Structure 1
Amino acid sequence: MPEPIRKNIRDINPFADGGKLPEKEIKSSTLPREANHPQFFLSNPDWMRGARVRGGMTTYLKDAEQYAEKIAFIMMTLLPKLMKDWKSLYPNPNARQFPHCHVLNGNALKRAKDIINEIYPDADYSSEYLRNIWQFGFSKGIRLVCGVNDNDEIYPFFVDYHHLLNPDKNYNQQDFASFRYCPKVLADVSDEAFENVRNASILYLSQEKASDLLDEVCVTCKDIVYEMYVELI
């Protein structure tokens, strides 16, 4: 699993060594990180990926409509509240005020690790993020499962859309095992299918047809294309 990378100040500001500043100052449209707010790594491309493991734990959704509803809630309600109330809920949240924000342990931690292993097969549990796994949630049964380090940096692992880490009769009435929707997985399957079709098209070309196509390739590229074709067949 890739660790979040912190850029060197010289990568961010090319004038950090005292070089001449541009004549016209360019103002950033983003605010610097505030002292009482955490840093949330949206750079992880798989934290909203669908996954399913034994025991009924799943992060797949019913359909595109449900996906849109859940993602809108996460981005417009859950994450802003997490940032705003961070110092009140981490590392010692008020259990009455934030009952759904806490470190994971017991069966809930086991279920979380099962999903993490499914999404990230190369998960390294010596990572500071995987040694401190939390869930954050406020309403609607949605729980964000993340690793947190000593610098208040939050690395999202997955979303427990259906409140399955800690099963509850108020949330667990649907047949979640039948859910199959995840845009990320669908995109991966489509890419794989396209690649298979592309390769199959090459494999089933007759040698005569392949030779005709090869004649249309420029001299510079002909040897390269021929080697690729031979390798495939």
Structure 2
Amino acid sequence: MAKSKSKMKINENSKPTSINEEKRPKEIKGNIVVDFSNPFSLYSCAVKGIFTNYLKSRDNAFDNHQRIFTEALSYFSENNFDDMRNSKGTHTHEIKGNDKIELIKKILKELIICQNGNYKNADTIIKNLVADADLWQLGYPNGMRFIGARKGNIINLFFLDYHHLIYPNKNYNNKDFYTYKYCLMRNSKNELLELETASEIEALKIKEVITDTISTKNNI
């Protein structure tokens, strides 16, 4: 008689996480590492009248993303958190205060919706990300702010504050950012879906033409 396979028992009390833990960089002491493992970290969203990190256009979005991966990450890799925090003008510091933390939670909820289309498990994901986390703003000089949870030399990125709205600057926040609507991640995904749909429609048209041609030949 074959042995019956034992069923794996799932611990329902275990906390669901927003990312695969194995994909997290291991914490080490040293210069700054930015962890992009949250699937929504490069998306854009808005919290009405309080925050937006939408960008103006496709070109503007590409320029910003290029700066992230060709300039900012290289800059961070040459510095540590203590140096950044103590250096004037870097805008790198801990995020404290219930008002700021609640705003970050609202932004995270909107980002999760933008990324996967619904609120499913959003509150649990946010709780696991924010509860007891050491929240930080990591500033790239004269540029965007990286918002996330710090652990050692690693910042687990939540989102980009392109317009400096978590900590507003009256000398900077003079543009109508709330009219911006471009999200590179979401728009690119929609464009890809449109291309796939167009390709499927074209394939069906070709199939219909071939079928009609064969049918016509058979009837001759």
Q: Classify the secondary structure of the residue corresponding to 1:113.
A: helix
Letter in 1 for 2:96: N
Kindly report which structure 2 residues correspond to 1:148-159, keeping only aligned pairs within 5 A, or say none: 148-149=150-151, 151-159=152-160
Q: Classify the secondary structure of the residue corresponding to 1:147.
A: strand
Higher helix share: 2
Letter in 1 for 2:19: P
Q: Give per-residue Cα distances to partners, 1:83-112, cap 9 Å, x unaligned.
A: 22115247xx32x53551111123333322
Aligned pair in 2 of structure 1 residues 189, 72: CA closer, same or farther (>3 Å)?
Answer: closer
Aligned-partner Cα distance in 1 for 2:173–2:103: 15
Q: How many residues align?
A: 181
Q: Classify the secondary structure of the residue corresponding to 1:173.
A: coil
Higher strand share: 2
Q: 1:101 aligns with which of 84, 92, 96?
A: 92
Contact 2:109 2:126 (C-alpha < 8 Å) held by counterparts: no
Contact 1:129 1:155 (C-alpha < 8 Å) held by counterparts: no
Residue 129 of structure 1 deviates from its aligned partner by 5.9
2:167 corresponds in structure 1 to: 166
Q: Give per-residue Cα distances to partners, 1:41-82, cap 9 Å, x unaligned.
A: 234442111111122411110012222322233223322222
Aligned pair in 2 of structure 1 residues 108, 78: CA closer, same or farther (>3 Å)?
Answer: farther
1:81 corresponds in structure 2 to: 75
Letter in 1 for 2:102: K
Contact 1:89 1:98 (C-alpha < 8 Å) held by counterparts: no
Q: Classify the secondary structure of the residue corresponding to 1:114.
A: helix
Letter in 1 for 2:22: I
Q: Which moved more, 1:100-109 or 1:36-45?
A: 36-45
Q: Give per-residue Cα distances to partners, 1:22-54, cap 9 Å, x unaligned.
A: xxxxxxxxxxx9741344323444211111112
1:12 corresponds in structure 2 to: none
Aligned pair in 2 of structure 1 residues 64, 197: CA closer, same or farther (>3 Å)?
Answer: closer
Structure 1 gaps of 5+ residues are 8-32, 201-208, 214-233
2:52 corresponds in structure 1 to: 58
TM-score (norm 2): 0.64
Contact 2:23 2:37 (C-alpha < 8 Å) held by counterparts: no
Kindly report which structure 2 residues correspond to 1:12-31, keeping only aligned pairs within 5 A, or say none: none
Aligned-partner Cα distance in 1 for 2:34–2:141: 20
Aligned-partner Cα distance in 1 for 2:130–2:172: 28
Structure 2 gaps of 5+ residues are 1-17, 114-120, 202-207, 213-220
Q: 1:113 aligns with which of 105, 108, 119?
A: 105
2:190 corresponds in structure 1 to: 189
Q: Which moved more, 1:61-70 or 1:99-108?
A: 99-108
Contact 2:19 2:37 (C-alpha < 8 Å) held by counterparts: no
